[in-house]
Structures are given as C-alpha cells and as structure tokens.
Amino acid sequence: MVKAIALCYTVVVATFYSVSIAGYWAFGNDAQGNLFDNLVPSYGPQLNPTWLVAISGFSIVAQLLAIGLVR
C-alpha cells in the first residue's frame, strides 16, 4: 500500500510540476492566477476560439452543479 501511495504521489507531483514549469517557461510572470484571465485577456487580442471559452464556462457550471447535488 505504501508503494502504491508513493507511486500516486510521484505521478501527481511529476504532472503538476511539469505543467507549472512549462507554463512559467511559456508565459513567465505574465500568467494570471485565474484561468479565464489567461484565456480572455483584458488587453490585446483573444488568444483562444470562442467555443473553447464557452466549453470551459459550461464545465465550471456543471462541476458546481455536481458539487451542489452531492452536498
């Protein structure tokens, strides 16, 4: 069991750190803490298609509804 937990933590840490390092490499300190602030910046052109922002918003609403139904 301890080996399995160690493997799970290793996989999670490796994936999170690789994504965070790649994001810092790509955007530096310009990345915002909120995902939507990065998808739809307040200045400059929108970097993503509109359907991606719509799907992201729908996913957040679906997650909030699922959390509300479980409680």
Q: pLDDT tens digits for 19-63?
A: 888 888 887 887 777 777 777 777 777 778 889 888 988 999 999
Domain segments of the chain: what residues? 2-70
Using pLDDT thresholds of 50, 70 and 90, give the confidence band for residue 5: very high
Q: By C-alpha distance, which of 69, 45, 46, 70 is closest to 56?
A: 46
Mean pLDDT of the region 7-24: 91
Give 64 or 37, the one with higher predicted confidence: 64
3-state percent helix, strand, coil for the chain, nearest multiple of 5: 75, 0, 25
